Amino acid sequence: MHWCTGAHVHLDQFGTWNLELSAESRQLSADSMCLIVFAYKYHPRYPLILAANRDEFYERPTSKSHFWEDHPDLLGGRDMKYGGTWMGITRSGRFAAVTNFRERTGIREHPLSRGLMVKDFLTNRYSSKTFLEGITPRAEEYDGFNLLIGDPASLFYYSNRSRRKMKALKPGVYGLSNHLLDTPWPKLVRTRQTLTEIIKGSDPINTERLSSILYDQTPAADNELPDTGYELEWERVLSSPFIATPTYGTRASTVLLLDTDGQVTFTERSFNGPEDQGRTVHHEFTLAVP
């Protein structure tokens, strides 16, 4: 998802958000998610606890999460425009997710699809480090991105907008939106703190409580908004964890749990418009032993 080059957002006379897009802007949607909060090796029972929202134009063709026919070990949604995905996990425990990096400059005319990086990692057997080393020589062929990839043994963060592009993550609670890892944007700080509180007070983890983090439509106060070069009205719209405008908003809210027995719990609620109540898919499986 590119952040609307040539876009204008405003409130109409009825108090409804309207998003006006140039033809160029309508062509610039991509494959990314806008908020991920996760706990990595922080809870004694769950090596990975994750809650994430993917935001996109409603007109972009997307399939809900499922095991892919052409890659039956891969569970994730699919961008039907380029064939990639914003997040997925395999039966062997390979995991990947991508967000875009919000910026007004440096947008390429014909960038590579960032969602294909997720697909490529999940459908190959390269180690995380080897895969990221392979991306580095061509990282600037993509618009700005953040990438999380890993397996049951390790988790890496990578961004082509960070001086230190690759980072092996230590146990902890993290947040990722459309800037670098743990950039303290209000919605990231708020959802990461709530995730931490849920983790400390739950065993087993309650997936409904995790999901509730993602449905928060409370915008940040104006004095807390990040200054990313966009109009104030647009910054306000994007500042809530869950976004709903007539043409653009949260398309998928996903909760992922991996426990120490290798049990995966994957719940996703997908949306096709601001008034849509959503459709939920739920998958549970045990990781295959290598």
The tens digit of pLDDT for each residue in 114-146 reads: 999 999 999 999 999 999 999 999 999 999 999
Residue 68 has pLDDT above 90, yes or no: yes
CA 126 – CA 137 distance, rounded (Å): 16
CA 40 – CA 147 distance, rounded (Å): 15
Q: What are the two backbone dihedrals, phi and then psi, of residue 52, each rounded to the nearest 5 degrees?
A: -150, 145
Q: Which of 276, 237, 256 is nearest to 36 (CA)?
A: 256
Contact in structure between 64 and 77 (CB atoms under 8 Å):
yes
pTM metric for this prediction: 0.89
**Domain 7-286 indexed as CATH 3.60.60.10:** yes
What pLDDT shows up at residue 27?
A: 31
**H or E segment to which residue 210 belongs:** helix 207-214
Lowest mean pLDDT among 60-64, 180-184, 229-233: 229-233
Q: What are the two backbone dihedrals, phi and then psi, of residue 113, each rounded to the nearest 5 degrees?
A: -75, 120
What pLDDT shows up at residue 230?
A: 78
CA 152 – CA 90 distance, rounded (Å): 11
Residue 21 has pLDDT above 60, yes or no: no
What pLDDT shows up at residue 290?
A: 66
Q: How far is CA 103 from CA 66, 123, 173, 180, 183, in A?
A: 32, 30, 25, 12, 14
What pLDDT shows up at residue 164?
A: 87
Q: Over the chain, what is the mean pLDDT?
A: 88
